[in-house]
Amino acid sequence: MNELKKELGFTQGVGLLATSLLGTGVFAVPAIVAQIAGYDGLWAWPVLLLLVFPIAIIFAELGKLYPSAGGVAYFIARAFNPQLGRVTGWAFLSVIPFGLPAALYIASGFWRSLFYLPPETELAIQVMTLAFIWCIGLFGAGASGWIQSIIAILIIALVAAICFASSPSVLTIQWPALTDINLEPVLSALAVMFWCFVGLEAFVHLTTEFKRPEKDFPRALMIGLVLAGFIYWACTAAVIFYAPHVSSPTIALPYIVETLFGQSALWFFCIIGYLACFASINIYCQSFARLVWAQAAMDYSSSRFAQLSKRHTPVNALSLVILLSLFCLCVIHFFSLSLNSLLEYANGVFVLIYLLAMIAAVKLLKGKSRILSIICAIICMGLLCVIGYKSLYAIGIFAIFWLIAKKWTKCKTSH
């Protein structure tokens, strides 16, 4: 039977989502927020959660009612037509060439900072990371769930150690009065912080692998979101508390760890930092693989990418994702390409996908959920406006894929 194995439980789901949201941002973004907004940044995280929570609720509702490995592409295909769903899936996959290599670079950067590695050794670490992700994919989402739950526990343990390492603890930090908040830097911080919660759409691809998707998926989504939000807030508070004058955001938390626990603790920090990045990369690779499998099963059922392994995992599709990532990784390495601007344009792709998901929800859901979907669509449209001209990349990619899909449909019909 060509169906994905149902093996995810509630605990694994929380671990998968929390680690995918924390990803590469947990050790850099809190320090950026502290630098931009200072103490006012303590209020920015609750505000962001209030903005993201409605979107998470809609994703949870869609995942509960329409579980599919196709994720957002499936919702859009069901709400409108298969062609639009196909184009959305392609647009989502367009993040692979630069998004995954960038995350791999950040992950290997923890070892580079500790050992001052040459570029060739760093590339070898990145390749081994992809190989390990492929091996995990052989055993299904259950293996990923347990591994990432352990990583989530390690991240929580590190944050807890930082919070309670001194007396008074970080958690006793004084929040500024609402009347004293300077709104402009908080809004600037929010523009950066939103990307910490990109990952909700990837998590949706795993709905069909939950044992009880109608019950465990929504609960895991909400609790994982709140858990990640609290960890981000705690890290921001720690930076304000211990290292308010550190010049670079990337060295703020390493500085805190070394100050509190000594230089030997940097080993532990680097390991957890690498694992946090690994967790984010892993869930995206597994999600991309499931999307490739779902797209292939819909359009080319005889394709190798539409087939599952004996363990009911999309190994062929995952191999394609890994090989594409490996190719792009090598190109970026040998030509020393800058990824910063490419990642900024990638953000536009994610927001556009969120917007399309919310528009699909308006048609698929009813009652209060439909009203909430409209509100979420307005929020996403506002975010596209905030991104400005860089959102044209996402719109352009979508338009190109739409023309290709339209031409492909005509050719298929004529034959």
Segment 152-184, tens digit of pLDDT? 788 888 888 888 887 788 888 889 888 888 888
Which pLDDT score is estimated for 323?
92
Task: Tell me the torsion sign for CA atoms 276, 278, 281, 284.
Answer: negative
Distance CA 107, CA 117 (A): 13
Among 191-200, 231-240, 269-278, 333-342, name the most confident range. Answer: 231-240
Contact 48, 198 (CB under 8 A): no
Distance CA 141, CA 190 (A): 32
Distance CA 164, CA 143 (A): 32
DSSP 8-state symbol, 211: S
Candidate from 244-258, 336-350, 386-400 with smallest mean pLDDT: 336-350
Between CA 123 and CA 129, with CA 124 as vertex, the angle to 5 degrees is 95
Which pLDDT score is estimated for 342?
59
Whether 19 has a pLDDT exceeding 50, the answer reads yes
Task: Answer left, alpha or beta for residue 199, where phi above 0 means left and psi between -120 and 50 means alpha.
Answer: left
As a whole number, mean pLDDT of residues 378-403 equals: 84
pLDDT digits (tens, 9 = 90+) for 311-328: 778 889 999 999 988 998
Q: Which two tokens stand for residue 147?
A: 């591994």
Task: Tell me the torsion sign for CA atoms 387, 389, 390, 394.
Answer: positive
Task: Tell me the torsion sign for CA atoms 178, 174, 43, 50.
Answer: negative
Which pLDDT score is estimated for 370?
94
DSSP of 280-326, one letter per residue?
HHHHHHHHHHHHHHHHHHHH-TTSGGG---TTS--HHHHHHHHHHHH
Residue 37 identity (one-letter amino acid): A
Give the pLDDT band of residue 356 (cuts 50, 70, 90): very high
pLDDT digits (tens, 9 = 90+) for 88-145: 888 888 887 777 887 788 788 778 767 777 888 888 999 999 999 898 888 765 666 6
Tell the burial category of 160 from Cβ atoms under 10 Å away from its Cβ (0-12, 13-18, 19+). Answer: middle
Which pLDDT score is estimated for 171?
85
Which pLDDT score is estimated for 251?
75
Candidate from 42-46, 304-308, 353-357, 368-372 with smallest mean pLDDT: 304-308
Contact 93, 292 (CB under 8 A): yes
Strand partners, 210: 8
Give the pLDDT band of residue 1 (cuts 50, 70, 90): very low
Which pLDDT score is estimated for 391?
80
Task: Tell me the torsion sign for CA atoms 254, 114, 326, 336.
Answer: positive
What residues have CB less than 8 Å from 188, skipping those under 6 apart?
Answer: 36, 37
Candidate from 82-91, 246-255, 258-267 with smallest mean pLDDT: 246-255
Contact 326, 318 (CB under 8 A): no
What CATH homologous superfamily does 10-408 map to?
Amino acid/polyamine transporter I (1.20.1740.10)
Q: Tokens 């030509």 belong to which residue?
A: 335
Closest by CA position to 162, among listed 17, 263, 269: 269
As a whole number, mean pLDDT of residues 246-275 equals: 82
Which pLDDT score is estimated for 143?
60
> pTM (2 decimals)?
0.74
To the nearest whole number, what is the mean pLDDT of the chain?
82
Closest by CA position to 189, among listed 340, 345, 55, 29: 29
Residue with more model confidence, 239 or 194:
239
Residue with more model confidence, 113 or 214:
214
Which pLDDT score is estimated for 209?
75
Which pLDDT score is estimated for 376?
92
Which pLDDT score is estimated for 355?
92
Which pLDDT score is estimated for 322?
92
Give the pLDDT band of residue 32 (cuts 50, 70, 90): confident
